[in-house]
């Protein structure tokens, strides 16, 4: 196997980790904005950062649900219970993102907004750790000729 073949085979493993790292950074920026103190500025920053963060996180999960996870399910039937759990997490995160979006555009206090971020952060961290434990090994050997953006979202 040549070096380019080897690089292509490990790309899915690295792409998933990179997508998760970018989402972590976006969440950190949202939290820093909220913790800055000035409620009006924090709300404006949250609208900017969190709309982008929410869209990125939701887009990542939608792309996984319609691209990557069905491919893994077809190639690795033993992963179907794991994939079902990941998709259940995606639904829960989408619900939390919707609530957070409504809180940002309402009169929610900074404390309420922080609680939404805490909840999102907790489920996101748990989901990413589980997903990486369950899938990185398989992804490191996945021979799939596809654009990572099609399967993981445009992060």
Give residue-wise pLDDT tens across range 95-134.
988 898 888 888 788 788 889 888 888 998 898 899 889 9
Rank 67-71, 80-84, 99-103, 113-117 by mean pLDDT and report only the highest: 80-84
Q: pTM (2 decimals)?
A: 0.78
Q: Which of 143, 118, 138, 129 is nearest to 17 (CA)?
A: 129
Q: Environment class of residue 115 by beta-carbon count within 10 Å: exposed (0-12), middle (13-18) or buried (19+)? A: middle
**Is 80:57 a contact under the CB 8 Å cutoff?**
no
Cα 34 to chain centroid, rounded:
20
Report pLDDT digits (tens) over 2-51.
455 444 444 677 877 888 888 788 778 777 777 776 556 666 666 666 67
- 3 state SS of 38: coil
- Is the pLDDT at 77 greater than 70? The verdict is yes
Q: Is 95 exposed, middle or buried (0-12, 13-18, 19+ CB in 10 A)?
A: exposed
């Amino acid at each position: 196997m040549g070096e380019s073949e080897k690089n292509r085979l490990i790309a899915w493993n690295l792409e998933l980790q990179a997508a998760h790292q970018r989402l972590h950074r976006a969440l950190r920026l949202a939290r820093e904005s909220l913790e800055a103190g000035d409620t009006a500025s924090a709300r404006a920053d949250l609208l900017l950062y969190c709309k982008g963060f929410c869209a990125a996180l939701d887009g990542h999960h939608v792309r996984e649900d319609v691209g990557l996870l069905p491919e893994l399910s077809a190639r690795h039937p033993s992963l179907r219970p794991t994939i079902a759990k990941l998709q259940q997490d995606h639904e829960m995160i989408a619900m939390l993102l919707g609530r957070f979006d409504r809180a940002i555009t309402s009169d929610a206090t900074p404390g309420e907004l922080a609680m939404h971020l805490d909840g999102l952060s907790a489920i996101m961290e748990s989901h990413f750790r589980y997903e990486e434990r369950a899938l990185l090994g398989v992804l490191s050997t996945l021979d799939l000729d596809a654009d990572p953006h099609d399967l993981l979202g445009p992060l």
